[in-house]
Amino acid sequence: MDERWRLSGLIQLRPLIRISPSHFTFLKKCNLRSILASNQQDAFLPLNPQAILGTILHQLLDDANNGQIKTLEDFNNHLDLKIQRQDESLYSHWINKRHFPLSEKAYHFDIKVKKCWRTISQVILPNNEKSIMNEPYNTSPFGSEKWLESSDKIVGGYIDAIMHLDDKVAIVDFKTGKLLKEDGSGQINEEYKTQLKLYARLFFDEYGYWPDQLLIIDLDGKKHDISFTASECNALMEEARTLFNYINSKIQNKENDLKDMYLIFSSPDPDNCSYCQYRPICPNYWISRQQVPDPRWPNDVIGSIVEKVTLGNGLFHVRIKDRNTNVVSSIRGLNPDWHVVLREDDNDIAAMSLDGDLNMHSYKENRSTTIFAIDPNFVQEILS
C-alpha cells in the first residue's frame, strides 16, 4: 500500500518565507494550516473540484488581461489546454483522481465558463484596448500579474491587474468564487478587503503614491469598489510583520517541542477545520472535537474496525469503535477503488469527510471521503 494512505506522525515545520496578501487572513485564522501550505506540504484531503475550476477560470482572466486571449477562439483554445492538463494531473494523482474528469465533477461547469468569457469580452478586452501602456513595463504600474513586495520582503505577492480606469489608477482583483458574507448582509468578505488593502500598501512602497481605487471584479463582470484609508493599510502591514516574526521565532527556536508548536499554532473550531486539508494530523483538532462537542464539526471518525463487510454491489460497509468514547459508528457505501486501506489488514483507521446518514453515528461516503490507516507513532504523537 502507498504510504501516503498511512498517518504516521507530525511533520516538521519550516519558517515562513513571506506572507502573501491573499493568504494573510487565513494565516490569522489558523497559523498551522498556512504554515503547512507555505511549506508546500501535500494536502491530506482531496481538493474541491469547485476550487480547481475557480483556479482555471482565474488563469483565463489573467491570460486575457495580459493580452493572450483576444477572441472567443483564443478563449476556447486556452480553456481546452488548461482542462486537458488539469485532467491529466487529476487522473495521475493518488487522492484527487476521483475528480476526473473535471468538466463532470465541478458543479455548473458550463455556466461558469460562459460567465468567464462574458467578463473577458465585456470588461477586460474593452479596457485592454484603451489602457495606457506607453511606459516601460518595469517602471509603469500598469499591467497584469505584477509582483510587489515590501522593502523587508516580509509581505509580497502578485496583483491580478493594475488598470487605468476612468483616469484612475485601480488595483484589480478577479474573484471566481463566493464574494459575499454568508450572513445575508450583502457585504464583501473581509478577507478580500484585507487582501486588497495590503496590495495598496505594497503599491505605495513601490511607486510612492497610493492607488485611487481598489476593485474586485466577479465572474459576472460586476465591479465592487473597496474603500480604504492609508492608515488602515499601514496597520495591516504592521500586523503582518508582527505575525511573521512571531511565527518564525517560534519555529526557529530549537528548544520548542514540535507537538507544542502544533498546539500553539492551531486554532480549531468547526469553521476553521471544515475545509482544512491538514486536519488529519492536527492534534488540537482531535482534542477540541472531543472536548467541545458541536454538530458543526466535520463528520470524521477515528478508531478501530470492529466489522468490515463487502456488500453485493462490491462496496464496503464498516463499523468503527471510537478510540476515545467507545461509540461504534457505521459507514456504508465505501468504494474500494478509492479506499485502498480497506483492502488491507489495517485495523486502526481515520475516516474523514463523511456524510451523515439516517441515524445517529451512521454515515455514508461522498466524493471527498478519505480513509487512512493509523500507525502506532501517530497514536503516540498526535492522539495521546
CA distance 214 to 353: 37
Indicate the helix (H) or strand (E) that contains 146. strand 143-149
Provide the edge-to-edge strand list for the sheet that holds 143-149: 143-149, 156-165, 168-174, 213-217, 223-225
276, three cell numbers: 482544512
Find the DSSP H helices in the chain: 24-29, 31-38, 49-65, 72-92, 102-105, 109-119, 125-130, 190-207, 230-252, 258-265, 270-274, 283-291, 376-378
Contact 186, 225 (CB under 8 A): no
CA distance 116 to 149: 29
Contact 180, 162 (CB under 8 A): no
Q: What is the 3-state secondary structure (H, E, C) of 69-85?
A: CCCHHHHHHHHHHHHHH
Distance of CA 163 to the CA centre of its chain: 27
CA distance 306 to 135: 70
- What was the pLDDT predicted at 299? 96
Size (the chain), residues: 384
Indicate the helix (H) or strand (E) that contains 225. strand 223-225
- What was the pLDDT predicted at 140? 60
Nearest Cα residue to 60 out of 86, 23, 21, 38:
86
Instruction: Tell me how crowded residue 1 is: count the other CB atoms within 10 A of its CB.
Output: 12
- What was the pLDDT predicted at 139? 47
pLDDT digits (tens, 9 = 90+) for 216-247: 999 998 999 999 999 999 999 999 999 999 99
In tens digits, the chain (384 residues) has pLDDT values of 788 899 988 999 999 999 999 999 999 999 999 999 999 999 999 999 999 999 999 999 999 988 999 999 999 999 999 999 999 999 999 899 999 999 999 999 999 999 999 999 998 888 776 554 434 344 467 778 889 999 999 999 999 999 887 888 999 999 998 887 777 777 899 999 999 999 999 999 999 999 999 999 999 989 999 999 999 999 999 999 999 999 999 999 988 999 999 999 999 999 999 999 999 999 999 999 999 999 999 999 999 999 999 999 999 999 999 988 899 999 999 999 899 999 988 889 999 999 999 899 999 999 999 999 998 888 888 887
Helix (H, G, I), strand (E, B) or coil at 232: helix
